[in-house]
């Protein structure tokens, strides 16, 4: 049992974002991800010496992105939730100041049989700040016969923009009390659910780009996306392979990142390639170009990083909150329009 904490503060100095404050306790560690001189933005990775989340673990994470700073926060590997009776809890508090960008898309969570995990995320954004936030929930160790054998998984994410609640995503999964195999998309054999939340003053323009980029479905997953209000876009996807969903969601997240930088006038001289991943086979996935075709219409080919338009879709390779969580039905999602 660990009571752990992580605190990060990123601040912009000149053209670069620097790590101004970093603190963590066992079993966690936060380090620079790659060369700190390679980008104007800051890239950090959260690592752990623990085999996963254990009985009674409590993790408090605090992230501050100061004015104009840009932070990408990565995870080391899949999050494993071990069997437990009393459960474990993770609380995250995020503050993104004016013109800041924060991107966080962690690896999938894998709940073992009899695991019980509560996640509470509270995110505060200034009016001109941008959030790119994702999560992926698996059904368990499928190949070990532990699909939907966990006790409970409760995830609450609240996003405030300019001190107003703009999004509430509240999910409670209890396989012992809910017929998950016969509701939602799980009845079609899917075992993983992915979510991407984009909150930004550029959400309307991004939605227009996604209408082009995501005009077709991809093999191996089913997804949908919507915009509510003028500042929120949400993508929800279902699949049966966590790694492929993670790659796909990461590619969409990177597209959102480059699009935001372009709208802020911060394009790098040689922007990195953005590809939307098309899931195919389980292990080695060949790089195969995929184009969106529509009868009676010309193929649209635009460059996201260069001029804010959509690239062709191509395959593969890219303070603690103490609130008591209320139990609600599975997939209870409330989006509050500004």
Residue 291 has what pLDDT? 35
Rounded CA separation 275/254 (Å): 9
Instruction: Report the candidate in 247, 263, 276 with the shortest Cα–Cα distance to residue 305.
Output: 263
Residue 329 is part of which domain span?
3-335
DSSP-H helix ranges across the chain: 203-213, 242-263, 304-307
Rounded CA separation 236/238 (Å): 7
Mean pLDDT of the chain: 82
Helix (H, G, I), strand (E, B) or coil at 223: strand
Rounded CA separation 324/322 (Å): 7
71-80 tens-digit pLDDT: 999 999 999 9
Lowest mean pLDDT among 189-193, 220-224, 269-273: 269-273
Exposed e or buried b per residue across 288-318, where buried means at least 16 C-beta atoms within 10 angstroms of its C-beta:
eebebeeeeeeeeeeebbeebbbbbbbbbeb
CA atoms within 13 A on the CB side of 164: 11
Residue 2 has what pLDDT? 83
Rounded CA separation 259/332 (Å): 30
Chain length of the chain = 338
Q: Checking DSSP bridges between strand 88-96 and strand 116-125, what pairing results, if any?
A: parallel
41-55 tens-digit pLDDT: 999 999 999 999 999
Q: How much of the chain, in percent, has pLDDT values that exceed 90? A: 64
Residue 195 has what pLDDT? 97
Average pLDDT over residues 177-194: 75
Token pair listed for 113: 């049989």
Rounded CA separation 96/308 (Å): 23
* pLDDT above 90 (res 90): yes
Instruction: Tell me the backbone φ, ψ of residue 81, rounded to 5 degrees.
Output: -105, 110
Residue 186 has what pLDDT? 62
Q: Which residue has the tokens 């080695």?
A: 284
Residue 269 has what pLDDT? 45
Residue 34 has what pLDDT? 81
* pLDDT above 50 (res 294): no
Helix (H, G, I), strand (E, B) or coil at 131: strand
Rounded CA separation 122/306 (Å): 33
Rounded CA separation 66/9 (Å): 7
Q: Where would I find the beta strands (DSSP E) of the chain?
A: 3-13, 16-24, 28-32, 42-48, 58-65, 70-75, 79-81, 88-96, 101-104, 109-111, 116-125, 130-138, 152-161, 164-173, 192-199, 221-228, 232-239, 332-335
Residue 167 has what pLDDT? 96
Greatest mean pLDDT among 37-41, 129-133, 148-152: 129-133
Q: Which residue has the tokens 């698996």?
A: 138
- Please report which confidence band the pLDDT of residue 185 belongs to, taking 50, 70 and 90 as the band edges: low
Residue 276 has what pLDDT? 55
Query: Per the structure, how many domains does the chain have?
Result: 1
95-123 tens-digit pLDDT: 999 999 999 999 999 999 999 999 999 99
* pLDDT above 90 (res 218): no
Average pLDDT over residues 326-330: 41
Rounded CA separation 321/239 (Å): 31
Residue 35 has what pLDDT? 80
Residue 285 has what pLDDT? 34
* pLDDT above 50 (res 316): no
- Please report which confidence band the pLDDT of residue 176 belongs to, taking 50, 70 and 90 as the band edges: confident
Average pLDDT over residues 130-135: 98
**Cβ count near 155 (within 10 Å):** 20
Which of the pair, 228 or 188, is modelled with greater confidence?
228
């Amino acid at each position: 049992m660990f009571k752990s904490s992580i605190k990060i503060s990123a601040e912009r100095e000149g053209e670069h974002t620097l790590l101004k404050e970093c603190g963590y306790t066992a079993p966690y560690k936060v380090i620079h991800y790659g060369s700190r001189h390679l980008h104007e933005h800051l890239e950090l990775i959260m690592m752990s010496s623990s085999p996963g989340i254990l009985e009674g673990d409590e993790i408090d994470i605090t992230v501050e992105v100061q004015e104009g700073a840009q932070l990408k926060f990565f995870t080391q590997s899949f999050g494993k939730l071990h069997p437990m009776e009393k459960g474990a809890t993770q609380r995250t508090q995020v503050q993104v100041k004016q013109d800041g960008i924060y991107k966080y898309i962690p690896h999938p969570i894998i709940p073992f049989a009899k695991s019980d995990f509560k996640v509470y995320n509270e995110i505060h954004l200034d009016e001109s700040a941008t959030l790119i936030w994702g999560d992926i929930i698996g059904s368990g160790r499928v190949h070990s016969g532990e699909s939907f054998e966990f006790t409970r998984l409760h995830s609450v994410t609240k996003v405030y923009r300019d001190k107003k609640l703009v999004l509430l995503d509240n999910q409670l999964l209890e396989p012992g009390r809910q017929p998950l195999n016969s509701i939602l998309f799980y009845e079609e054999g899917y075992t993983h659910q992915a979510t991407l939340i984009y909150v930004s003053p550029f959400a309307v323009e991004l939605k227009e780009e996604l209408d082009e980029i995501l005009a077709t479905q991809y093999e191996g997953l089913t997804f949908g996306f919507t915009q509510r209000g003028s500042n929120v876009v949400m993508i929800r996807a279902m699949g049966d392979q966590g790694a492929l969903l993670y790659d796909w969601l990461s590619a969409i997240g990177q597209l959102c990142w480059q699009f935001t930088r372009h709208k802020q006038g911060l394009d790098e001289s040689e922007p990195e390639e953005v590809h939307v991943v098309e899931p195919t086979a389980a292990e080695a996935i060949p790089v195969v170009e995929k184009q969106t075709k529509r009868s009676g219409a010309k193929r649209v080919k635009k460059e996201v990083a260069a001029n804010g338009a959509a690239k062709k879709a191509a395959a593969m390779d890219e303070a603690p909150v103490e609130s008591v969580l209320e139990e609600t039905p599975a997939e209870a999602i409330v989006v509050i329009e500004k």
